[in-house]
Amino acid sequence: MPEGVIERLPSYLGVLIQLRQDGCYTVSSAKLGELTDVNPAQLRRDLTHFGSFGKRGVGYEIVTLIDRIQGILGSSQTHRIVLVGAGHLGSAIASYHGLKARGFVVAAIFDTDTVKVGTRIGDLVVQDFSKMPRVVAEQKIRIGVIAVPPDAAQAVCDALAEAGIRVVLNYSTNMVRVPAGVAVHNTDPVRELLHTLYYLSRTEDMARA
Amino acid sequence: MPEGVIERLPSYLGVLIQLRQDGCYTVSSAKLGELTDVNPAQLRRDLTHFGSFGKRGVGYEIVTLIDRIQGILGSSQTHRIVLVGAGHLGSAIASYHGLKARGFVVAAIFDTDTVKVGTRIGDLVVQDFSKMPRVVAEQKIRIGVIAVPPDAAQAVCDALAEAGIRVVLNYSTNMVRVPAGVAVHNTDPVRELLHTLYYLSRTEDMARA
DNA sequence: CCGCATTTGTAACTATTGTTACGATGGGTT
DNA sequence: AACCCATCGTAACAATAGTTACAAATGCGG
């Protein structure tokens, strides 16, 4: 399965869920492509990677498509995640309602800062990071989110991997490295900003020309 | 300039800045490639897109490289950004020290919620969103960050574009659309999680086999 | 029941991206 | 000064991704 497909599936899913809420039953590749900024033909080809269940002349049945994509991504069941770092970013993630709506539940929050340990964030009480391995093992949690200062990120990541975490989402500025068998996704706001900066200078060049 | 290069430059820059702090003077494509998970040859070719200034047998001079990349991305000067949404996520971004260190300054924070308007976040006082166009115009701000609930995202984005913002970084779950001449970058945490989920199921399949 | 508008699925093509391989070049060593 | 080793820059190749175009299928209206 091509990497690009995997990256687009979550976008399709998001839009489809929105459409279902709006009361739609079917959607064409043209419409869905417009809403996700994807070429309709490519969208159709993406979907053929896991079967062919559109109806010619009609489009795709939304509920079927949602089911299918959730099956591929493995988001049909709810996933428990652990969150490391109870700072502003950690709080933002923990109290983010969009998570539950899409099948994610924050099972526990950890921090090394003794001042933060014991405080509440939403329904959860921040626990000491030393308890992380036990919680991960007992609840068989496989997803971890890192929201700690850059210097601590790698150490936290190593500990998560050691504890059995299989997927790491890293929100710190430092890229972290993982052993084989663990997937990591580094999404640093500053990197995103720098990336967009390039387009800023380009649009200005165009305006000047 | 290929899209892929632009996406990798910020990673290079981050690692280079780190290396400079550690007291290094030069770095080889092999080393830098390892630290950024990029094939050394590709890294070299990426760099040739804007000149050739490595020394054979030695590597690249770190400070020169940093200068050059910052020049390309336009991050040699400081950039002011406006932030819309003073919730948890907005606070996280506003009080994020990594921004200043990398040349970004949050110039103003806006919200429509009258309860939040007037409160302080770091050095800044949250202002009413209606004042956004004036601030953007007066300070000639071109970058806007959206950290509001999904339903409000598109409206905020339209207003930002109208006010003269040229680059939008959208952290809400709803993808937003922009007029031509404005660049947008949607980075939704849930989408990232869903994306990593696929790899989770894959690693488990591998473990089972 | 038949043609028409619509929309899928896919084949062929193009463009882009990534990889491998190797000659060129600079510094260090004897 | 001559040799050697590390490393760059780049050409050739391979793989991937994206686009265009069109035939096959579906439902609808007359």
Query: Are A167 and B36 within 8 A, CB to CB?
Result: no
Contacts with B207 from chain A: Cβ below 8 Å: 181
Q: Which position has the higher pLDDT, B135 or A174?
A: B135
B6 CB closer than 7 A to any strand C atom = no
Parallel/antiparallel/unpaired status of strands B124-125 and B120-121: antiparallel
In this complex, the answer to whether residue B33 has its CB under 7 A from any atom of chain D, a nucleic strand, is no
The span from the CA of B203 to the CA of A180, in Å, is 10
B60 CB-to-strand D distance under 7 Å: yes
Task: Say whether pLDDT at B203 is over 80.
Answer: no
Distance D14 C1' – B42 CA (angstroms) = 15
The label of the residue with tokens 């308890």 reads A131
pLDDT band of residue B200 (cuts 50, 70, 90) is confident
pLDDT band for position B158 (cuts 50, 70, 90): very high
Instruction: Find which of A80, A197, A206 to mutate to test the B interface (most B CBs within 10 Å of its CB).
Output: A197
pTM comes to: 0.87
Residue B86 and residue B105: Cα distance in Å, rounded? Answer: 16
pLDDT at residue B2 tops 90: no
Res. B206: pLDDT tops 70: no
Cβ–Cβ under 8 Å, residues B188 and B158: no
Query: What pLDDT is recorded for position A198?
Result: 84
Instruction: Judge whether B86 and B119 are in contact, CB under 8 Å.
Output: yes
pLDDT at B90 over 70: yes
Query: Could you report the average pLDDT of every consecutive run of 10 residues in chain A (209 residues)?
Result: 89 93 93 93 92 87 93 89 94 86 93 96 95 97 94 95 94 87 85 84 63
Q: How many CB atoms lie within 10 A of CB A59?
A: 18
**Which pLDDT tens digit goes with each residue over B14-57?**
999 989 999 999 999 999 999 999 999 999 999 998 887 889 88
**CA-based nearest residue in chain A for residue B100:** A190
With CA atoms as reference, the chain B residue closest to A144 would be B193
Name the closest nucleotide to A60, judged by C1' and CA: C8
Please name the residue that has the structure tokens 């996700």.
Answer: A36
Q: What pLDDT sits at residue A148?
A: 94
Supply φ then ψ for residue B188, to 5 degrees.
-100, 125
The residues with which A184 forms a beta bridge, in sequence order, are A168
**In this predicted structure, what is the pLDDT of residue B205?**
62
pLDDT digits 0-9 by tens, B70-84: 988 888 889 999 999
Q: Which residue has the tokens 């739609």?
A: A24
pLDDT attached to residue A206: 59
Which residues on B lie below 8 Å from A206 (Cβ)? 181
3-state secondary structure of B193: helix
